[in-house]
């Protein structure tokens, strides 16, 4: 039990406040039930389900090709990587040989998605701590990536570019040039992020030592992605269980040991550099070949259980399929990174101020449809 | 108490020829009040437009440029919309205080406008305790914010209002002390005399190092006093939604909104008067054309307003305890030492005079 010293002259009174479901800092329809004493947070109780669409149940109804399209709507900021997770699970279950070309393109677009997602997060992070200008800088660079996606597959956000067995179309002839253009552009703009926000004294004061998460807690709460790595927990799926073309490229797993909001911030900024270098290594040598292999029109998975995990922009996304040999999964479970990451919010926010809660929540990078599914 | 009423005097003389003295006095006061109301409204609306254009410029956007030439009528249209909107409110609000709150805010900022020396002639109310008057008046506004937050019966509004109380009470000390530092040079609280002294060089140059320190403290405290970023704890949209004016709508909200911008102008105008020689032109280049003083006054004030907008659109927001740490542990001690240094400099005649 935690002992607290009580000033007997002044009685403090805890009160309850509803943060959300409509609130600027919850980025969607998350509702936080806060118990506050003055400015100090005593308890955070997230209330979920405002955007629950029973995606997992719908998956039991749909064929495997259709399931891919549903995953776009979970974590809409890394839709390509979500698609990839389902496709990989199906392909591994069927033991298909996927052409190198497909793997490289999937990796390039996956990393671009990660950069786009982190750009948006960076803008929103600044906005949550009060610097509204960052939002527009983040969106400027994200816009270039979205334009590339639009040219490649016609969609900017919910891409549906992956299908079990390959890609829906081949890349656009301009793709390589435009990605190179983006790399050159972003290399000059990423240092700007540091000058605008990272180096700012107020920003560092707001994030250093705020929302501290130890490595042990990170593991026991199931934290993954930049949140786990900000606490020194090496959990990059791309490194430990390489999929697609990640075993062919050199990149560093970014690890920080501080475990505070600033460490998680730095991990994401560093990850953008790493993603850039991955794209740079692959963009010049996309192998020739088919962009998909022909699968049966009706995919039936063999009887059994299949699990595939990938590293989305927010952490580890797992797809767990139980198949009875029919054209639909008997049960399909998504292990979404946002859900586990949200579970530690109470742990890191208690004892801080309202401003600290907002700052640490921003570094968790929550996407509510990903949590509610 | 000698109150020189320059602009009022001119109008009064003109009216005296037409009507008896008592009537003339009242009519003159009404005319002056109307002139200032007009200045108030126009300044408020165009500061909003300026802020939006400046913000757009910082944020790689264009900003409002459709209504009128370069969006000149945009804020007029917005104000018109706000006037025509229904005034909603909470059922359980304390109706009397809830309705009273916006007027406290708007009246306090309107009263402060009266004492500024736009030119030697264009000053409605040259009171001999001008600086004291400004400090006193500018702190009335916080009562309106506290009342608004308290009476609207909303926890977010209440947190915002309490933050505002804490913040304004703290930072008023710094504003007062940094202005007092400059009063040590002028030896007078009367704004017209403060301007007269600056004919030998603006006070920021006369007082050199301590004056620059006082100016920096003043600008920080002034930004905090107007509740603008990086000190916008009161509204803190990512924490409290809209803070103290969460439950206000229509024109009542617009009063709070306009008052914020007028307060920003007031803070800049005080700095212009006390540090940068009010209507005096740099090096006296347009001394022969007195009415250009208005131009110089506004130009200086708008540079400072721009500086405050620059703060807002660049810096993240401080946390509430950091805000208080900054004031009580850094600004206030520095300020007190600064006053002693300034007193020594004045005593030893080490000010720079041209």
Does residue A366 have a pLDDT over 70?
Answer: yes
pLDDT of residue A184: 92
Residue of chain B nearest A199, judged by CA positions: B315
Q: How far apart are CA A85 and CA B271, in angstroms?
A: 60
Give the count of alpha carbons within 13 A of A4, CB side only. Answer: 6
Q: Is B65 helix (H, G, I), strand (E, B) or coil?
A: coil
Task: Tell me if A131 and B317 make a contact (CB, 8 A cut-off).
Answer: yes
pLDDT one-digit tens code per residue, A172-190? 888 899 999 999 999 998 8
| Pairs across A and B, CB distance < 8 A | 81
Neighbour-count burial for B148-160, b at 16+ CB within 10 Å, e otherwise: bbbbbbbbbbbbb
Enter the DSSP assignment of B354.
-
Q: Is the pLDDT of residue A276 over 80?
A: yes
φ/ψ (deg, to 5) at B72: -60, -25
Q: Tell how far CA A18 is from the center of its chain.
A: 26
pLDDT tier at A118 (50, 70, 90 boundaries)? very high
Which of A253-267, B19-33, B137-151 is predicted with the least confidence, judged by mean pLDDT? B19-33
A114 band by pLDDT with thresholds 50, 70 and 90: very high
- Mutation target for A interface from B224, B228, B319, B326: give the one with most A CBs within 10 A: B319
End-to-end Cα, chain A, rounded Å? 36
State the smallest CA–CA distance between residue B114 and chain A in angstroms. Answer: 34
Chain A CB within 8 Å of residue B313 CB: yes
* Chain A interface, best mutation among B59, B60, B238, by max A CB count within 10 A: B238
Rounded to 5°, angle at Cα B102 from B97 and B106: 140
Contact A131 B315 (CB under 8 A): yes
Q: Which pLDDT value is given to residue B113? A: 82
User: What's the pLDDT score for residue A11?
Assistant: 65
**Strands of the sheet with A15-19, listed across from one edge:** A15-19, A31-37, A40-47
Contact between B110 and B272 under an 8 Å Cβ cutoff? The reply is no
Residue B191 in contact with residue B162, Cβ under 8 Å? Answer: no
Of B59, B240, B317, the CB nearest to A129: B317
> Which residue of A lies nearest to B317 if distances are taken between CA atoms?
A130
Which among B59, B155, B316 has the least Cβ separation from residue A15? B155
Question: In this predicted structure, what is the pLDDT of residue A2?
Answer: 52
3-state secondary structure chain A: CCCCCCCCCCCCCCEEEEECCCCHHHCCCCEEEEEEECCEEEEEEEECCCCCCCHHHHHHHCCHHHHHHHHCCCCHHHHHHHHHHHHHHHHHHHCCCCCHHHHHHHHHHHHHHHHHHHHHHHHHHHHHCCCCHHHHHHHHHHHHHHHHHHHHHCCCCCCCCEECCEECCCCCCCHHHHHHHHHHHHHHHHHHHHHHHHCCHHHHHHHCCCCCCCHHHHHHCCCCHHHHHHCCCCCCHHHHCCCCCCCCCCCCCCCCCCCCHHHHHHHHHHHHHHHHHHHHHHHCCCCCCCCECCCCCCCCCCCEEEEEEEECCCCEEEEEEEECCCCCEEEEEEECHHHHHHHCHHHHHCCCEHHHHHHHHHHHCCCHHHHHC
Q: What pLDDT digit, counting tens, does each position of B203-212 carry?
A: 887 878 888 9
Kindly report the nearest CA distance between residue B318 and chain A, in angstroms: 6
Contact call for A136 and B59, based on CB within 8 A: yes
Q: Which two tokens stand for residue B248?
A: 């206000």
With vertex at residue B27, the alpha carbon angle to CA B21 and CA B33, rounded to the nearest 5 degrees, is 135
**How is residue B153 written in tokens?**
């019966």
CA distance A142 to A78: 12
| Continuous H helices in chain B | 6-16, 21-58, 74-84, 95-113, 130-138, 141-151, 155-186, 191-197, 203-206, 208-225, 237-240, 250-275, 292-312, 320-325, 332-347
Q: Does B318 touch chain A (CB under 8 A)?
A: yes
- How many of the other CB atoms lie within 10 Å of CB of B125? 20
d(CA B16, CA A367) in angstroms, rounded, equals: 71
Q: State both tokens at B115.
A: 């004492």
pLDDT more than 90, % of chain A: 15
Neighbours of A49 (CB within 10 A): 11
| CA distances (Å), origin A245, targets A238, A287, B241 | 9, 12, 44
What pLDDT shows up at residue B2?
A: 36
Q: Which residue of A has its CA nearest to B61?
A: A136
φ, ψ of residue B192 in degrees (nearest 5): -65, -35
Q: How many CA atoms lie within 13 A of A78 on its CB side?
A: 31
Mean pLDDT of chain A: 87
Looking at domain A52-372, its CATH superfamily turns out to be: Cytochrome-c3 Hydrogenase, chain B (1.10.645.10)
> What is the C-alpha separation between B22 and B205, in angstroms, rounded?
46
The verdict on a CB contact (< 8 Å) between B59 and A133 is yes
Paired residues of A320 in beta bridges: A307, A333
Query: Which candidate, A213, A224, A237, places its Cα nearest to that of A110?
Result: A237
List, for residues B13-34, the tens digit of each pLDDT value: 777 777 777 787 788 778 878 8
> Could you say which of A137, A196, A202 has the minimum Cβ distance to residue B230?
A202
pLDDT of residue A7: 57
Domain ranges of chain A: 52-372
Cα B79 from chain centroid (whole Å)? 21
pLDDT in tens, B304-352: 999 888 888 888 888 888 888 888 999 999 999 999 998 898 888 877 7
Provide, rounded to the nearest whole percent, the portion of chain B with pLDDT above 70.
Answer: 96
A202 contact B CB<8A: yes
B66 reaches A (C-beta below 8 A): no
Give the residue on B whose Cα is nearest the Cα of A195.
Answer: B314
Find, among A274, A79, A278, A217, the residue nearest to A266 by Cα.
A274
Q: Does the pLDDT at position B229 exceed 50?
A: yes
- Residue A140 sits at the chain B interface (C-beta within 8 Å): yes
B236 touches chain A (CB under 8 A): yes
Classify residue B330 by its DSSP letter.
Answer: I
Distance set, CA B196 to CA A142, B120, B128, B285, B301 (Å): 56, 10, 14, 16, 18
3-state secondary structure of B314: coil
Instruction: Name beta bridge partners: A306.
Output: A321
* Comparison of pLDDT for B257 and A2, the residue scoring more: B257
Least confident window among A53-57, A66-70, B202-206, B285-289:
B285-289
Provide the pLDDT confidence category of residue A27 given band limits of 50, 70 and 90.
confident
DSSP string for B72-99: TTHHHHHHHHHHHS-----TTS-HHHHH
Confidence of residue A6 (pLDDT cuts 50, 70, 90): low
Distance of CA A190 to the CA centre of its chain: 19
- Give the pLDDT mean for A309-336: 89
Q: What are the boundaries of each domain within chain B?
A: 92-347
What distance in Å separates residue B238's CA from the closest CA in chain A? 5
Q: How far apart are CA B211 and CA B203, in angstroms?
A: 7
Q: Which two tokens stand for residue A166?
A: 């390959």
The secondary element (H helix, E strand) that includes residue B4 is none
Taking the C-alpha atoms of residue B274 and residue B295, their distance in angstroms, rounded to an integer, is: 17
**B60 with A140: Cβ contact below 8 A:** yes
Distance CA B354, CA B347 (A): 18
Residues 6+ apart with CB under 8 A from A257: A215, A231, A232, A263
d(CA A339, CA B248): 36
Pairing of strands A166-167, A304-311: unpaired
Per DSSP, B69 falls in state: G
Q: At what angle do helices B21-58 and B95-113 cross, to 10 degrees?
A: 100
Of B159, B230, B241, which is closest to A23 when you measure between CB atoms? B241
Q: CB distance from A184 to chain B under 8 Å?
A: no
- Cα distance between residue B84 and residue B125, in whole Å: 34
In the β-sheet with A316-323, what is the strand arrangement from edge to edge?
A304-311, A316-323, A329-335
Within 8 A of A133 by CB-CB distance, chain B residues are 55, 58-59, 313-314
Q: What is the mean pLDDT of the segment spanning B114-136?
A: 80
């Amino acid at each position: 039990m935690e002992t607290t010293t009580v000033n007997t002259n002044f009685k403090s009174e805890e009160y309850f406040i509803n943060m959300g479901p409509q609130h600027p800092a919850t980025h969607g329809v998350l509702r936080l039930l806060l118990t506050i004493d003055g400015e100090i947070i005593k308890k955070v109780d997230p209330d979920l389900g405002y955007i629950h669409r029973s995606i997992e149940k719908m998956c039991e109804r749909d064929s495997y090709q259709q399931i891919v399209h549903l995953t776009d709507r979970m974590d809409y900021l890394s839709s390509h990587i979500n698609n990839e997770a389902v496709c990989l699970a199906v392909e591994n279950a069927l033991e298909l040989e996927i052409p190198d070309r497909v793997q490289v393109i999937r990796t390039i677009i996956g990393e671009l998605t990660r950069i786009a997602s982190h750009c948006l997060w960076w803008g929103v992070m600044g906005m949550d701590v009060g610097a509204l200008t960052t939002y527009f800088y983040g969106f400027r660079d994200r816009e270039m990536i979205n334009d590339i996606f639009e040219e490649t597959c016609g969609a900017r956000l919910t891409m549906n570019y992956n299908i079990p067995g390959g890609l829906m179309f081949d890349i656009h002839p301009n793709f390589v040039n435009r990605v190179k253009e983006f790399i050159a552009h972003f290399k000059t703009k990423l240092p700007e992020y540091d000058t605008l926000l990272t180096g700012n004294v107020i920003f560092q004061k707001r994030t250093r030592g705020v929302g501290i998460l130890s490595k042990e807690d990170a593991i026991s709460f199931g934290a993954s992605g930049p949140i786990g790595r900000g606490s020194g927990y090496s959990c990059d799926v791309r490194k430990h269980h390489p999929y697609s073309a990640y075993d062919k490229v050199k990149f560093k797993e970014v690890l920080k040991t501080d475990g505070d909001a600033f460490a998680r911030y730095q991990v994401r900024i560093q990850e953008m550099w790493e993603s850039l270098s991955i794209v740079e290594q692959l963009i010049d040598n996309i192998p020739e070949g088919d962009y998909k292999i022909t699968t049966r029109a009706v995919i039936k998975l063999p009887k059994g259980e299949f699990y595939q995990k990938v590293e989305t922009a927010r952490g580890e996304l797992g797809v767990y399929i139980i198949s009875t040999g029919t054209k639909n999964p008997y049960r399909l479970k998504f292990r979404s990174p946002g859900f586990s990451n949200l579970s530690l919010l109470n742990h890191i926010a208690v004892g801080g101020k309202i401003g600290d809660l907002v700052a640490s929540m921003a570094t968790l990078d929550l996407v509510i449809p990903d949590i509610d599914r | 108490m000698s109150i020189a009423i320059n602009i009022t005097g001119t109008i009064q003389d003109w009216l005296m020829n037409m009507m008896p003295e008592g009537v003339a006095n009242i009519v003159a006061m009404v005319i002056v009040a109307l002139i200032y109301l007009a200045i108030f409204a126009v300044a408020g609306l165009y500061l909003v437009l300026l802020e939006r254009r400046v913000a757009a410029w910082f944020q790689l956007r264009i900003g409002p440029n459709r209504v009128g030439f370069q969006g000149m009528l945009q804020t007029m249209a917005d104000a018109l919309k706000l006037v025509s909107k229904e005034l909603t409110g909470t059922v359980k609000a304390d109706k009397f205080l809830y309705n009273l709150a916006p007027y406290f805010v708007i009246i306090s900022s309107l009263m402060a406008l009266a004492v500024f020396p736009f030119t030697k002639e264009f000053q409605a109310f040259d009171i001999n305790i001008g600086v004291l008057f400004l400090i006193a008046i500018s702190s009335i506004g916080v009562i309106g914010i506290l009342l608004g937050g308290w009476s609207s019966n909303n926890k977010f509004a209440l947190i915002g209002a309490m933050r505002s109380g804490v913040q304004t009470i703290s930072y008023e000390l710094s504003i007062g002390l940094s202005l007092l530092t400059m009063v040590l040079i002028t030896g007078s609280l009367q704004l017209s005399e403060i301007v007269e002294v600056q004919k030998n060089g603006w006070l920021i140059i006369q007082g050199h190092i301590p004056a620059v320190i006082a100016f920096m403290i003043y600008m920080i405290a002034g930004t905090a006093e107007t509740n603008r970023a990086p000190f916008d704890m009161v509204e803190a949209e990512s924490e409290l939604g809209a803070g103290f004016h969460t439950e206000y709508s229509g024109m009542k909200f617009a009063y709070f909104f306009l008052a914020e911008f007028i307060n920003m102008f007031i803070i800049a105008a005080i700095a212009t008067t006390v540090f940068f020689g009010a209507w005096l032109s740099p090096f006296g280049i347009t001394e022969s054309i007195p009415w250009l003083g208005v131009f110089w006054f506004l130009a200086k004030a708008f540079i400072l307003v721009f500086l405050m907008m620059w703060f807002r659109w660049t810096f993240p927001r401080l946390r509430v305890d950091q805000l208080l740490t900054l004031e009580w542990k850094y600004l206030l001690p520095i300020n007190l030492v600064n006053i002693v240094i300034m007193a020594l400099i004045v005593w030893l005649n080490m000010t720079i005079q041209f």
